[in-house]
Chains A and B, each alone.
Chain A
């Protein structure tokens, strides 16, 4: 509501300073308070409006509280609403005054008119005053049972509000259970939707401390609840549909028939005019089919047209949100849109935030077949009046050049940019030519010819200047006047403000010196002298280093400064694939717009009701769905994605048949010996030890010590695949581990994750609250795509931890366990 008064607001004619007016209002309200005269309500309305308008512009009218409450004894619903609005605004900061309103609000909660009952209940639960919650429980309880759906709808949200004021009161009154009942039985879909909102918030926040709440929360994504909601989906408001779909995206169907049923049911949601519904449906489709490669590809084809329609039919803002998602999809499947590239051409009247995304799209979809057209289009933008976009376009051309094999035509265009004689175009193009030469040195001849014609005086931007200087140094042999250009640049050393440029200048002149010593010697001397006198530490240090290097041995210096270089094959991707996968898991959220996973921009409590880690937590206990799956089904579905597993299964299939899959996954893995273990001789002792439920300390590992296990430091695992594997694989090792309490007490999840990462053990999800934390890690063998999955639970106050390991190749899980434990024991050591 309106922010409470800023006391130092200056008075202006349109915005009265307050004091006089407020006391005027006070006396007028007083006069009207008891009046039953005809027309009194109309005068009250006018006064109330004034009060609320003051409130909106920030004048403190809380001193009228008493009078407002007195005037609210009316049957006029408009007056009542204004009064509720006022009360809701000031109650929090004036708890004593709020007490005054309890009486009349409670009375209104029992009014005959359901409208008034609902409004009063909403106001009562919006007071946000913790010492008044006792008055709230009764009305909320009866509100939930009210025969009018409006009142129930309000009451459900009231429960959520109560939870935020006093969680214990809400839980003690057993409201969550009542909401659960309502959610599954209420005929009004908005009541159901509100129950869903409320329960998700309540259970998510309770789940970290209460096992029961965690189970309740899981039950939301159970088959009965999901089916119940999906079957009614058309009755829900479009906003509630989004929520249901978001939930459905977390559901793990038991077989492919179920997947197709759900998709067929939701098929028409893709034709919805509301972009939020379409994107939520898209998410369901993408998530459901993650393990079915070919269907997943078909989903991309299917969602293409609706998303393009949303992009072009909506407001620019909506277009931006949709484009962000299209961008994510294109990065995963560039070929899908490669023939639709024209949709991403910029229109001259689009806002720059849309144009920028479109340029990124064009870069991403460019391939052998469309590059020529796309680059031609981008070149048009380079002459654009919008300079920011012109620059971006040139960069886009450069990016395409770096990702294509056939750069012939592109190089020509880039060189044409250099001839356009617009400062910013030249600057951008220079930087690109430099990168291009690093990747395709074979083009040096053509490029150098053009670059040589550029006067360094026309290049002012540091990045471009640095690029030009780099080329002068690198190709000083080919560019006849390189030493002299460098010399003149060195003469103006003091005018060069950018340290980056000065650094490049030092290096370039060194390179030039080794190629054309007589011509460069003088310039080199001047540069080193200027560098040694430079106030910038890096420049100074580099100059000193070069100086001493030359002093030590010129030929050694040449080896260091001018070694033969290999072309750069791939420029480092700025984002790891793990991060990209995380963003994909958070499809239809801000993560996609910001191109960052949520943990990078939100604190834990605000990551949305179904953050990844919570979901993985569920998997550790909720394995029922996996048990229903007949083994052949899983194998059939997952062949493509989980090749390593299926191959393995085939190899042991003869002995084992399907038992490895059909056996229920109990949390007591020791009673079941996976066939693969008994198969391999040396591990026999381990299996028996497991059978006896003994925990093997790492030190007493079986005698034939396993080959040193090497892990892939850049292992990649899609979280969906992680879940899949976690569900399917047996726990091969389960053991306890303890950490010195001092170290454990200082443990923070982030620190542990970083530490393990350094040991090539990657965290895919983590959660929990002090002192109980839970982590899911994974690691991959360096030589083969064999994965280890670890669940690690630690109590930081006792230092006790539980480790559960699952592995594709169980024969090496012992070795991995040793590695894992030793990595852990190094944690906290200096």
Chain B
């Protein structure tokens, strides 16, 4: 049960403020913002998502730079409130198409209307866009999508592959298209975030894939959908068998997930048999399935780093990135960072010839090397050489003073786990009914680190 809900801009302005129970003082938004902004004197540490100040518990989540906040005096379940905040943000996004400060300000009456139905007297009523549709009457005022930052994982599809209609991910679930008719379509996105840590000798220390099958449906009449995954998919590994023995963890399938969970609407009647998920997708965007995998997989990139002394007060860094995936696949927005010794005062860069779309930088403030590459084609290799100048004599080990190298990237139409949607079946209403189906894969770096 919460007492108040509000949304603050990055500067701390109230965009939306709703007091459900009148138990917490009115100035709470200001108190909250001051506390979060000056959490620790050095400004280094972020405020935790939950804290207590004078008997009031403040919860917040950050969504696209906005702070979604709830307050209460009651000892509630933190994960419930945090999940609720996240879900409110998602409902608003479903309605507005785009969630940002501008769209919120333009549509605040609609947002209030939503908030009235989502929460009553502090208790969550419904967060289903589907259900809310029948209670909410304001029409969204759609803001211009063209100049917007990507907002969510699905937004990455806007760049790169041309096959995807870029507007879809920013389309409101309720607003009508300018043409009057809505396009019948459904998006299924398999989004994987991979975390890999390489030791200094290139050996993989840890690797994990956190994946989600995200769905966004614009189908009218909510037809039933069947989603088939790899038949040899197996779930649960290693760990002791469950007392209830409800899952057969035997067999050595190709894709072995450690664990997964499902959206409410998913029925698993046939899942054990043929790995199909049946569901009637509600309106709006939602995760059909989240999964986690620690099975070994081939990392898409190898990182080789060399740092060595080159005369007094000088050193050389060689960074080599090799793309170990098929040449038909192109990774984009690659960024590589490497902390350099604190006493580095200058860095000059030498890129390979014909290095198009590459940028290099030395960030003086935090002594960091930054290397950006727009595109990397599978199978290729890229190298960066940097000459460093130091302000003091070296002592000790250079590799202890620098690194680790971290990397971020996005690889469309690639998934590391090999989990696949084999087919997507939509229950037909008539023979002419043939909605657009988009099944898209993408892999992103979560924490991709090579130690020195």
Contacts and interface: CB of A to CB of B under 8 A. Distances in A.
B290 A273 contact: yes
B451 A380 contact: yes
Given A347-B447, A387-B44, A301 B242 contact: yes
Given A279-B79, A322-B79, A348 B449 contact: yes
A598 B259 contact: no
Nearest to B287: A273
Given A267-B246, A312-B210, A305 B236 contact: yes
B74 A602 contact: yes
B40 to A, nearest CB: 8
Q: Is the interface of A mostly helix, strand, loop or mixed?
A: helix
Contacts of A606: 55, 73-75
Contacts of A435: none
A309 B17 contact: no
Among B47, B83, B127, B263, the one with the most A-chain Cβ atoms within 10 Å of its Cβ is B83
Contacts of B47: 353
Given A85-B116, A388-B44, A594-B52, A308 B292 contact: yes
Interface string B116-130: 100011011111100
A315 B79 contact: no
B96 interface: no
B452 to A, nearest CB: 10
A437 to B, nearest CB: 26
Interface in B232-261: 236, 238-240, 242-244, 246, 258-261
Given A49-B109, A313-B292, A276 B79 contact: yes
Interface string B28-49: 0100000000001000111111
A275 B79 CA distance: 6
A317 B61 contact: yes
A507 to B, nearest CB: 31
A586 B75 contact: yes
Interface string B250-277: 0000000011111110001000000000
Interface string B122-143: 0111111000000101100000
A264 B18 CA distance: 40
B290 A588 contact: no
A466 B150 CA distance: 52
A590 B75 contact: yes
B322 interface: no
B183 interface: no
A560 to B, nearest CB: 41
B123 A278 contact: no
A385 interface: yes
B73 A313 contact: no
A593 B264 CA distance: 27
A598 B18 CA distance: 26
Interface string B42-68: 001111111010010100111000000
Interface string B72-107: 011111111011111000000000000000000000
Contact of B261 (A1, A49, A272, A298): A272
B410 interface: no
B383 interface: no
Nearest to A153: B125
Nearest to B139: A78
Given A77-B137, A78-B137, A128 B22 contact: yes
A321 B50 contact: yes
B261 A317 contact: no
Contacts of A590: 50, 52, 57, 75-76, 78
Contacts of A421: 395-396
A57 B78 contact: no
A588 B77 contact: yes
A68 interface: no
Contacts of A401: none
Interface in A633-685: none
A445 interface: no
Given A128-B22, A385-B366, A388-B44, A309 B258 contact: yes
Interface string A267-286: 11011111110111000000
Interface string A234-260: 000111101000100000000000000
Contacts of B123: 157, 193-194, 197, 239
A491 B292 CA distance: 61
B258 A271 contact: no
B27 interface: yes
A305 B239 contact: yes
B109 A82 contact: yes
B339 interface: yes
Nearest to A320: B49
A566 B280 CA distance: 69
A264 B79 contact: no
Contacts of B442: none
B413 interface: no
A62 interface: no
Given A56-B108, A280-B77, A301-B240, A239 B50 contact: no
A383 B15 CA distance: 41
Interface in A309-358: 309-310, 312-313, 315-318, 320-322, 324-325, 339, 342-343, 345, 347-353
Contacts of B120: 122, 153-154, 157, 194
A715 interface: no
B128 to A, nearest CB: 8
A56 B14 contact: yes
Among A52, A420, A594, the one with the most B-chain Cβ atoms within 10 Å of its Cβ is A594
Contact of B197 (A279, A315, A322, A345): A345
A141 interface: no
A267 B449 CA distance: 37
B400 interface: yes
B113 interface: yes
Contacts of A4: 26
A53 B79 contact: no
A589 B55 CA distance: 15
Interface in A124-175: 128, 150, 153-154, 157, 160-161, 164
B263 A56 contact: no
Contacts of B395: 421
15 contacts: A2-B17, A150-B135, A164-B21, A197-B123, A237-B127, A301-B239, A305-B259, A317-B62, A387-B44, A589-B77, A590-B52, A601-B75, A602-B73, A603-B73, A606-B74
Interface of A: 1-4, 48-49, 52-53, 56-58, 77-78, 81-82, 85, 92, 115, 122, 128, 150, 153-154, 157, 160-161, 164, 190, 193-194, 197, 237-240, 242, 246, 263-264, 267-268, 270-276, 278-280, 295, 298-299, 301-302, 304-306, 308-310, 312-313, 315-318, 320-322, 324-325, 339, 342-343, 345, 347-353, 380, 383, 385-388, 420-421, 586, 588-594, 598, 601-603, 606-608
Give the 9 A-B CB pairs with smallest separation, nearest first. A347-B447, A239-B124, A276-B80, A317-B49, A305-B259, A353-B48, A321-B79, A313-B290, A3-B26
